[in-house]
């Protein structure tokens, strides 16, 4: 059989990185190792994210990766945003989710659904110094997201919002919120409307910060809207079309959570491999025992499979292809891998892994949220089943 020529050779796989992407990834990785890692343990213990690190996120351009240069952004790709989330999460998933929400949810919504005036008002801020948050969930509307009860009533030139939002990531640090409310409860999902709400608006309050199992440095708070006054020009998209914004934005956000979970699994695995080479039992390193080698190999295989799913899905998004099924699969599988890998890494550490003196315990705690937020695993399975059985 003749050798493949330049014309007949197979194209590079979708998951391959360009030289520019490798440079970007390595820059974020270096920052995570050198600047983020020294703060991880203290931030987890205190449940507070170091403010100076967020300032560095902005300085590095990590908070406006896809935003066009005319608004102060990096004019990058969704794939680059995913690389950033993965590399930060390899060191601290709390850092990864801050950058994830900013890019895949908030900036994404602002890029695709705002008017030109709204773009000029908000995108430069999101790239310079303003953290964003995405406010959909409520006490009675989790997986059933469109059962929300927060009301929005038009009074003159303003909408008056009343209600409560729960489990809002980045809420403590954020100054701008993409917030979903309904203008007509009787209209069901067709009454849901998206608003750009600023923390400074009258009647808006950030409430209790949750004391969480994992990703403790990432703030998760309730929002209280008590006659919160939002200018009519801050409607995002069209009145009654908030459900469409929520669905499309969350589909992209799930890829971001996949990146967070992949980074987490990598971080835990790297520590476990290093420990297995150093820990000696019966006169030799435990990495020399076949049982440990098999566990390390199994984890490495699952991590690589998750990476293939994630990178391919991000490429599909950038290419303008349909990626709903792939996003659900990515989020489902990456969260499963993260939990399995983190758990097994604790076991490789043995008794040490069960203490807070070693890093794998934190990765294990952090992994649990992957199966819950931005669509539970059961919701992802339901989506996948519908699409593959068509």
Residues 6+ apart with CB under 8 A from 213: 365, 368, 369
Q: Catalytic residues, which ones?
A: 374
Q: Are 362 and 214 in contact (CB under 8 A)?
A: yes
Helical axes 78-91 vs 242-278, angle rounded to 10° = 40
* Cα distances (Å, whole numbers) of residue 126 to 74, 86, 110, 277: 12, 21, 10, 44
| Separation of CA 32 from chain center | 16
* Cα distances (Å, whole numbers) of residue 39 to 117, 125, 149, 230, 338: 39, 26, 39, 37, 22
Residue length of the chain: 390
Residues 6+ apart with CB under 8 A from 178: 105, 106, 109, 110, 132, 133, 134, 135, 194, 195, 196, 197, 236, 245, 249
* Cα distances (Å, whole numbers) of residue 177 to 72, 205, 366, 378: 20, 12, 24, 27
Measured distance CA(390)–CA(184) in Å, rounded? 33
The C-alpha R_g of the chain, in whole angstroms, comes to 22
3-state percent breakdown (helix, strand, coil) of the chain, nearest 5: 60, 15, 25
Can you say whether residue 5 is alpha, beta or left, with left for phi > 0 and alpha for psi between -120 and 50 degrees? beta
* Cα distances (Å, whole numbers) of residue 262 to 112, 268, 381: 27, 10, 19
- DSSP, collapsed to helix, strand or coil, labels residue 272 as helix
Measured distance CA(80)–CA(94) in Å, rounded? 19
Q: What are the start-end ranges of the E strands in the chain? A: 132-135, 151-155, 158-169, 176-182, 192-198, 204-209, 220-231, 235-236, 280-281, 284-285
């Amino acid at each position: 059989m003749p050798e493949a020529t330049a014309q007949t050779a197979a194209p590079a796989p979708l998951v391959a990185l360009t030289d520019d992407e490798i440079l970007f990834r390595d820059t974020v990785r270096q920052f995570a190792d050198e600047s983020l890692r020294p703060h991880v343990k203290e931030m987890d213990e205190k449940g507070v994210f170091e403010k100076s690190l967020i300032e560095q996120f902005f300085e590095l351009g990590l908070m406006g990766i896809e935003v066009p240069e005319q608004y102060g952004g990096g004019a990058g790709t969704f794939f680059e945003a995913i690389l950033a989330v993965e590399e930060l999460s390899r060191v601290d998933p709390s850092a990864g989710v801050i950058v994830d929400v900013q890019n895949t949810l908030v900036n994404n919504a602002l890029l695709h659904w705002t008017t030109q005036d709204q773009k000029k008002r908000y995108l430069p801020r999101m790239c310079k110094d303003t953290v964003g948050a995405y406010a959909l969930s409520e006490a009675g509307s989790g997986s059933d997201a469109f059962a929300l009860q927060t009301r929005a009533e038009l009074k003159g030139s303003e909408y008056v919002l009343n209600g409560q939002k729960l489990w809002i990531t980045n809420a403590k640090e954020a100054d701008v919120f993409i917030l979903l409310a309904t203008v007509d409860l009787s209209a069901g999902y067709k009454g849901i409307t998206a608003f750009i709400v600023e923390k400074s608006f009258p009647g808006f309050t950030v409430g209790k910060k949750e004391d969480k199992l994992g990703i403790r440095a990432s703030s998760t708070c309730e929002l209280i809207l008590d006659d919160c006054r939002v200018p009519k020009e801050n409607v995002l998209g069209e009145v009654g079309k908030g459900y469409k914004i929520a669905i499309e934005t969350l589909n992209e956000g799930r890829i971001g959570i996949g990146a967070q979970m992949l980074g987490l699994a990598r971080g835990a695995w790297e520590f476990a491999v290093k420990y297995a080479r150093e820990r000696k039992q019966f006169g030799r390193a435990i990495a020399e025992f076949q049982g440990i080698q098999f566990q390390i190999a199994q984890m490495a295989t699952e991590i690589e499979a998750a990476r293939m799913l994630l990178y391919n899905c991000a490429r599909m998004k950038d290419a303008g292809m349909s990626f709903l099924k792939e996003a659900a699969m990515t989020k489902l599988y990456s969260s499963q891998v993260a939990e399995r890998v983190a758990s097994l890494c604790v076991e490789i550490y043995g008794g040490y892994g069960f203490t807070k003196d070693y890093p794998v315990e934190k990765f294990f705690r952090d992994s649990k949220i992957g199966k819950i937020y931005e669509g539970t695993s059961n919701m992802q399975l339901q989506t996948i089943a519908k699409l593959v059985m068509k």
